[in-house]
Amino acid sequence: MAPVLLPASAAPHAPRSDPNIVLGTTVDPWLTATLKRVSRVRRPLNNAPQHARCLIETLSSPSAIWTLCSLILPKAPEAELRKDKNPLVEALFNYKKITIEAYIVHIDMVSQNEVAFKLTPETIEALVEYHKDVHSVDTAAATWSWSEKEVQLKRLQADFVQAANRFVYRTNAIALEGLETGGVGELLCGKSEEVKTAIMGLFFPLLPPPPRVVEIVRPTPLLPSSSSTEDWWPPATSQPQASSMDAWSGVSSSPTTTSSGESTSSVWASIGMSDLQLPSPTPSYSDSFSTSCKSPAQFYTAPMSTAPYSAAMTSATNSSIPVSSTLLPQQCSTSMGLGGFDWSRYQDFSLPFAM
């Protein structure tokens, strides 16, 4: 977007001068009709320079003042306003009307197609007076006191004076249809509400400083002096493990049926630890030093019995084979199993490990 360039007469505290007029080669018919309506002297309006000359002569008159809007503002601070039961009496004694007046400083119908208004010195003075006598008092009463409150209040008033002098209202060039005889005029099509909103936006409240944030200094937590790790974690509490037989405690057994657990317990209870010595598993037997001929049953190991341990132990208990006298003397001999032991009953002595 191209920057908006305004003439020097639109600068703050600048005196009033002739407006700056920028027209295109072709002038809109509505502008020609407006100038013919308000012009006191009949003159030809056939080209753009003739229209520009007519606008300068009409708008340069000291009486060419436009009414932008009207504001209803209180006459005194809120604490000094008159209180009455009749709202009409309160309105008559407590409020006043300030007319916002301005004059045209710039007309651009080529690039921006807009017209610019600058406030008159009388309007600026009325607004500054209201800000100092009423607005500043009310906003100061609404805030708490601090050391630099008066300085901040004076700065707020100075900022408003500068803002009022810099205020320039720009709107579409079609606003020139409100032009009247002598260069006076007023805004049409609800543009006055825009000006009212813009003027009231210049009144800023007095903002107190933010409260100071007090930093809370927390002490640095110290590490425990003990270097041992015994106190770092709570002691683990061992939960008692339920007995494996608790799950079977509620199961009733038939008096005529004997479980395998009971038979196994009775078998091992009848055999002493000194009488039963089982050899450790040895690698496959090799009889390379023997020259005697052996039967095929001696070259092959009997298959592992799939019968339960209870049946094997029961069979071993009921039999009369001496376990200790048969196994223990020959557990390291090369002729183990060649005599004195019946290999046909090997499956009755199934061991709990693989051979």
Per-chain mean pLDDT for the chain: 76
- Burial class, 304, CB count within 10 angstroms (exposed 0-12 / middle 13-18 / buried 19+): exposed
Q: Report the pLDDT averaged over residues 180-207.
A: 92
Determine how β-strand 168-172 pairs with β-strand 114-119. antiparallel
Please write the tens of the pLDDT for every residue from 47-74: 999 999 999 999 999 999 999 999 999 9
**For the chain, percent of residues with pLDDT exceeding 70:** 61
- Segment 106-132 shows an average pLDDT of 95
For residues 123-135, give the mean pLDDT. 96
**Is pLDDT at 197 greater than 90 in this prediction?**
yes
For residue 348, give the DSSP letter: G
Q: Give the mean pLDDT of 227-239.
A: 56
Residue 292: CA atoms inside 13 Å, Cβ hemisphere, count? Answer: 7
The answer to whether the beta carbons of residues 93 and 217 sit under 8 Å apart is no
Tens digits of residue pLDDT in 3-49 = 567 889 899 999 999 999 999 899 999 999 999 999 888 888 999 99
Lowest-pLDDT range, 143-147, 155-159, 246-250? 246-250
Report pLDDT for 319.
47
Percentage of the chain beyond pLDDT 90 is: 44
Predicted pLDDT at 289:
47
pLDDT higher at 102 or 247: 102
**Is it the case that residue 172 has pLDDT exceeding 70?**
yes
Predicted confidence at residue 135, as pLDDT, reads 95
* Token digits of residue 197: 């909103």
CA distance 350 to 222: 67
Which candidate, 273, 280, 260, places its Cα nearest to that of 354? Answer: 280
H/E segment holding residue 154: helix 149-166
Distance CA 98, CA 126 (A): 7
Of residues 114 and 304, more confidence is placed in 114
pLDDT at 239 over 80: no
Is pLDDT at 314 greater than 80 in this prediction? no
CA count, 13 A, side-chain hemisphere, 105? 23
Distance between CA atoms of 92 and 250, rounded to whole angstroms?
101
Helices (H), the chain: 29-38, 48-59, 87-94, 121-130, 136-141, 149-166, 191-200, 260-270, 296-299, 309-318, 323-327
Element housing 66 (H / E):
strand 66-74
Provide the residue count of the chain.
355
**For range 105-131, the mean pLDDT:** 95
Check residues 354 and 104 and name the one with the higher pLDDT: 104
As a whole number, mean pLDDT of residues 176-181 equals 93
Q: Which residue has the higher pLDDT, 144 or 273?
A: 144
Residue 196 has pLDDT above 70, yes or no: yes
pTM for the full predicted model: 0.59
Residues near 181 by Cβ (< 8 Å), separated by ≥ 6? 38, 40
Write the CB contacts of 311 (distance below 8 Å, at least 6 apart in sequence): none
Name the 3-class secondary structure at 279: coil
Q: Are 107 and 55 in contact (CB under 8 A)?
A: yes
Q: What is the pLDDT of residue 218?
A: 78
Q: Does the pLDDT value for residue 126 go beyond 80? A: yes
Strand partners, 23: none
Task: Supply the pLDDT for residue 270.
Answer: 55
Q: How high is the pLDDT of residue 147?
A: 87
Check residue 132 and give its pLDDT.
Answer: 95
340: left (phi over 0), alpha (psi -120 to 50) or beta: left
d(CA 225, CA 241): 37
Per-position b or e across 189-214, b if 16+ CB within 10 A of its CB: eebbeebeeebeeebeebeeeeeeee
Confidence bin at 138 (pLDDT 50/70/90): very high
Q: Is the pLDDT of residue 349 over 80?
A: no
> d(Cα 4, Cα 110) in Å, to the nearest integer?
12
